[in-house]
Amino acid sequence: MSERTLYDRVWDAHRVRTLPNGQDQLFVGLHLIHEVTSPQAFGMLRERDIEVARPDLTHATVDHIVPTDDRSRPYDSEAAEAMMAELESNVREAGIELDDPTTGDQGIVHVIGPEQGRTQPGMTVVCGDSHTSTHGAFGALAFGIGTSQIRDVLATQTVAMEKKAVRRIEVTGDLGEGVTAKDVVLSIIRRLGTDGGVGYVYEYAGDAIEALGMPGRMSVCNMSIEGGARAGYVNPDETTYEWLRATDAFADDPERFAELKPYWESIRSDPDAEYDDVVTIDGSAIEPMVTWGTTPGQSVGITEPIPAPADLPTDEQDVARRAQAHMGVEPGETMQGYDVDVAFLGSCTNARLPDLRAAAGVVAGHEVDESVRAMVVPGSQRVKAAAEAEGLDETFREAGFQWRGAGCSMCLGMNDDQLEGDEACASSSNRNFVGRQGSKDGRTVLMSPEMVAAAAVTGEVTDVRELPTVEVEAR
Amino acid sequence: MSGPAATGETADIPSVESVEGTGVPVRGNDVDTDQIIPARFMKVVTFDGLGEFAFFDRRFTDDNEPKDHPFNEARFQDATVMVVNANFGCGSSREHAPQALVRWGIDAIVGESFAEIFAGNCLALGVPTVTADADTIAALQDWVDANPDGEIAVDVAGETVTYGDTAVEVSVEEAQRQALVEGIWDTTALMRSNRDAIAETARSLPYVDDRDAGSGRVDD
C-alpha cells in the first residue's frame, strides 16, 4: 500500500489488538528503564504477583540521581544510594541488564540506547522519561510513558496508546555558520508553540534535517516533547545505517545488519505519503537561538530583540510577563550581554561527542570568565572516554571547565549539580522551567553547546559567530 | 483512590462515571510538571507522601513560609476538582505529578488543555482530565473562588460540568471517556489477557530475537 507514513507502518506492525476503549495495544521492541520512574512500577508488579515478561527486551541504566564527581559506593546522598540499590535489586530479580558506572557503559538513557545500537529503525521504544522522543532520530517510534505504563510494559511488553496525527516539518536549505540542530528545534518550538504538537507526532524532513548527523537528529527529536509532540522521527537513511553499522549490535554481526536493513528501508514514509499537516521552515534563515523566558518556546535569535508581552498572542501574554520578571530581561533588547554565572554543557539533548567537540573548538585557547562556574557532563561514559581519547578533556580543563562523570546532572538538578539562589545558567539542556535546575530562583537560558562555550568564556550570552577564535597549537 | 487488587488477573477497577466535590482554581498557562512536583521530591521509591509536596515551590518560600497559592488556602482544603488553564502538565513524564495531586485530594481536573503524557498518567490513575474553552474555564474558576464550598459535578459519561445552577458542556477524549466509564483504565490485566496475540506480534517483527526470549513467559 502506498501513501503511508513511517508512523503508520511502525504502528501497524506493532499493533497487537485494539482495546475496548479504542486505544491500540502496541508491542514494545525496546523498554529502557532508569532509577527514578521505575521503582514504583516494580512495586506494583510485586503487589500483583506478576513477573517481568521480557527482560531480554528491557535495558536499565542509572542517570538522573547518579553523582558526577565522587561515584564510589555508597553514594554520599542517602536518597541516591537508596534509589540505586532499589534499581539494582529490581533488575537482578527480573534478569534485566544494567549499565551501572562500573561497566563503562553507563550514561543518560537516551545516549546509551543509540550508542550501543539498541535503538533501531522501525522499532517501538518506550521509557519512563519524556525525552524518549530522542530515539525517533533512527526512524523508531519512541515516546515517554508514566510509571503505571511502565508497569504495563514490564508485565506485558505492550502499551496502550491512541494513534495521533502526523505533522511533517520540513526544514529547507542549508544551516548557516554557527547554527546547529539545537537552533533548528528551538526555532520549530517557537513557531509552533509549546503545545502546538499536542495530538501530533512530528516527522522531521527536508535538506537541513537530512544533512544532520545522527547526534544532530537526536537533538531535534529530543525536544519534540517541548513542542507538545510526544514523539518525533526522521526517516532512516544512509546516515542512520552508517551509525548503526559501527555499534555493538552490528559491528561484529554484518549478517544481522544485512538481514534487518530491508525492514528498515521498508518502513520509510512514501514520497506521496499523506500528512495531517505540513509546516515548512527556511533553515537558512535560522540564527543561533537563545531562550529569554521560562518555557522552551520563549526564544529569539541572538541578534533579535526580546518581544514585548503585549505584542504576543493574548493567551501567551501573562506567561511572558511572569517569565520576563523572573529572568530580569527587558523587551526590545537582545539577549546578548545577559550575565551568566554558570555554564552547563550536558544533557540528553546535547552531550554527545560532536557536541563536546564543537564546544571544545570554541573554548580552545580561551579561559572561562572568572565569574563563571563551568562544567562539562558527558552524556555517557563512552562519550567521556572518546572525548578523552581526542584530548577534549584537556581543552576544557585548561580553559577552566570542570570535567565530570556522565549523568543528567544539572539538566534537572536531582543530584548535587544545582544552581544556587538566582544564578543564571547558559545551558545546553532542554527545559528552562522555573526551578528546573535545582533552585527555584535560578534562571536558565537554553542554547547550543557552542553558544554555552562562548558564554562560559565571556561571562555573558554571546553570539558565538562573533567570538574571536584563538590559534591553538595542534596536539 | 482504591488501591490495585491483589492480582492482575482479577483486578477490580472501579468505573469513574462522574466526580463530585468542591473546587480549587489553579490559574495560569503552561503549568509544567516541575512546578507540580519539583524533582528533589522524586528521590523516593514509592509515591506515598507526595501529596504535601504538590506545587511546593509555588506554595512555600525558601524558609518554608507559605506563599499565596490556592493549595494553601483553608477554604480549598477539601477540594477534589481542580480547575486549570492551558497546556497543564507540560514537561516531564513523571507520574509523580498526578500522584502528588491525587494524594493531596484531587479526583478530577477541568482545564483548557492538557499535555499528553500528563493526561495519560491521570487516566492510568482513574483521574479524568476534561476540557472546555477559555471563557468557560475562566467563569468556572471565578465561581469556585466565590463559592469554595459549592459542589461541582464532573459528569464524565455525559460530558458536562455542573456548578450552582449552571451546566456547561465539556469534552472528554473518547478513549479516556470509555476507559473511565467502563472501568478499564487500569490496562494491565486487560492487556495481559492477550498474551497469545502479543507473542504472535513479537514473532512477526524481524528485529525481535525470540531465540533469546528467556522462559518465554509471554507465551505461557
Report the alpha-carbon distance of residue B58 to residue B31 in Å, rounded: 11
Would you say B58 and B24 are in contact if contact means Cβ atoms under 8 Å apart? no
Q: How confident is the model at residue A470 (pLDDT cuts 50, 70, 90)?
A: confident
3-class DSSP state of A379 = coil
Mutate to test the interface with A, among B27, B88, B191, B217 (most CBs of A within 10 A): B191
Report the alpha-carbon distance of residue A241 to residue A257 in Å, rounded: 9
The mean pLDDT of A390-413, rounded to a whole number, is 98
Would you say A223 and A350 are in contact if contact means Cβ atoms under 8 Å apart? no
Report the alpha-carbon distance of residue B87 to residue A232 in Å, rounded: 19
The mean pLDDT of A297-320, rounded to a whole number, is 97
Q: How confident is the model at residue B10 (pLDDT cuts 50, 70, 90)?
A: very low
Q: Which candidate from B43, B117, B202 shows the least CB-CB separation from A230?
A: B117
Chain A residues with beta carbon closer than 8 angstroms to that of B43: 65, 77, 79-80, 82-83, 414
Cell numbers for A267 = 518502513
Domains and CATH numbers, chain A: 6-266 (3.30.499.10), 289-466 (3.30.499.10)
Report the alpha-carbon distance of residue B59 to residue A269 in Å, rounded: 48
Report the alpha-carbon distance of residue A473 to residue A286 in Å, rounded: 32
Nearest chain B residue to A10, by CA = B205
Say which residues have a Cβ less than 8 Å from residue A318's Cβ, sequence separation at least 6.
A309, B28, B29
Query: Residue A337 corresponds to which amino acid?
Result: G
Among B107, B109, B105, which residue's Cα sits nearest to residue B82? Answer: B109
Q: Which residue has the cell 535560578?
A: A442
State residue B12's pLDDT score: 83
Q: Which string of b and e fits B59-97 if b means at least 16 CB within 10 Å?
A: bbeeeeeeeebbbeeeebeebbbbbbbbbbbbbbbbbbb
**B30 with A295: Cβ contact below 8 A:** yes
Q: What is the DSSP letter of B90?
A: B
Judged by a CB distance cut-off of 8 A, whether residue A475 touches chain B is: no
Say which residues have a Cβ less than 8 Å from residue A160's Cβ, sequence separation at least 6.
A19, A23, A24, A25, A26, A149, A152, B187, B191
State residue B204's pLDDT score: 97
ipTM above 0.85, yes or no: yes
- Interfacial B residues in 70-109 facing A (CB < 8 Å): 86-87, 90-96, 98-99
State residue A468's pLDDT score: 87
Are β-strands A24-27 and A15-18 bridged in parallel, bridged antiparallel, or unpaired?
Answer: antiparallel
Maximum CA extent, chain B? 65
The ranges of chain B annotated as CATH 3.20.19.10 are: 16-184
pLDDT in tens, A446-463: 999 999 999 999 999 999
Chain B residues with beta carbon closer than 8 angstroms to that of A438: 39-40
Q: Which residue has the cell 550581554?
A: A337
**A263 with B206: Cβ contact below 8 A:** yes
Q: Which residue has the cell 490559574?
A: B27
pLDDT in tens, A1-42: 569 999 999 999 999 999 999 999 999 999 999 999 999 999
Report the alpha-carbon distance of residue A396 to residue A368 in Å, rounded: 9
Q: Which candidate from A44, A225, A263 shows the least CB-CB separation from B4?
A: A44
DSSP notation for A167-221: EEEEEES-PPTT--HHHHHHHHHHHH-TTTTTTEEEEEESHHHHTS-HHHHHHHH
| pLDDT higher than 90, residue B210 | no
Fold of B16-184: Aconitase; domain 4 (3.20.19)
Report the alpha-carbon distance of residue A135 to residue A110 in Å, rounded: 7
Say which residues have a Cβ less than 8 Å from residue A258's Cβ, sequence separation at least 6.
none
Chain B residues with beta carbon closer than 8 angstroms to that of A263: 206-207
Report the alpha-carbon distance of residue B60 to residue A48 in Å, rounded: 38
Mutate to test the interface with A, among B15, B68, B186, B188 (most CBs of A within 10 A): B188
Are β-strands B108-111 and B81-83 bridged in parallel, bridged antiparallel, or unpaired?
Answer: parallel
Judged by a CB distance cut-off of 8 A, whether residue A61 touches chain B is: no
Q: Which candidate from B8, B178, B207 shows the least CB-CB separation from A155?
A: B8
Report the alpha-carbon distance of residue B115 to residue B211 in Å, rounded: 39
> Phi, psi (5° rounding) for residue A405?
-80, 165
Report the alpha-carbon distance of residue A24 to residue A12 in Å, rounded: 10
- How wide is the angle at C-alpha A352 spanned by C-alphas A346 and A358, nearest 5°? 85
pLDDT in tens, B66-92: 999 999 999 999 999 999 999 999 999
Cα dihedral sign for A67, A72, A76, A78?
positive
Q: By 3-state DSSP, what share of chain B in percent is helix, strand and coil, each rounded to 5?
A: 40, 15, 45
Report the alpha-carbon distance of residue B170 to residue B23 in Å, rounded: 16
- Interfacial B residues in 145-174 facing A (CB < 8 Å): 173-174
Query: Residue A183 corresponds to which amino acid?
Result: D
User: Number of Cβ pairs closer than 8 Å across A and B?
Assistant: 236
Query: Residue B66 corresponds to which amino acid?
Result: P
State residue B220's pLDDT score: 37
Report the alpha-carbon distance of residue A1 to residue A13 in Å, rounded: 14
Judged by a CB distance cut-off of 8 A, whether residue B202 touches chain A is: yes
State residue B213's pLDDT score: 46
Q: Which candidate from B47, B91, B184 shows the least CB-CB separation from A433?
A: B91
Among B186, B158, B77, which residue's Cα sits nearest to residue A19? Answer: B186
Chain B residues with beta carbon closer than 8 angstroms to that of A83: 43-45
Cell numbers for B84 = 486549570
State residue B217's pLDDT score: 42
Q: What is the DSSP letter of A30?
A: E
State residue A472's pLDDT score: 73
Cell numbers for A445 = 537560558
Report the alpha-carbon distance of residue B137 to residue B27 in Å, rounded: 10
Query: Residue A383 corresponds to which amino acid?
Result: V
Say which residues have a Cβ less than 8 Å from residue A214's Cβ, sequence separation at least 6.
A114, A137, A138, A239, A240, A243
Mutate to test the interface with A, among B7, B16, B45 (most CBs of A within 10 A): B45
**B214 with A228: Cβ contact below 8 A:** no
Among B70, B37, B39, which residue's Cα sits nearest to residue B51? Answer: B37
pLDDT in tens, B22-70: 999 999 999 999 999 999 999 999 999 999 999 999 999 989 999 999 9
E strands present in A34-77: 58-61
Judged by a CB distance cut-off of 8 A, whether residue A319 touches chain B is: yes
Report the alpha-carbon distance of residue A252 to residue A97 in Å, rounded: 20
| pLDDT higher than 50, residue B154 | yes
Say which residues have a Cβ less than 8 Å from residue B44's Cβ, sequence separation at least 6.
A79, A83, B50
Q: Which residue has the cell 542549508?
A: A174
Q: How confident is the model at residue A474 (pLDDT cuts 50, 70, 90)?
A: low
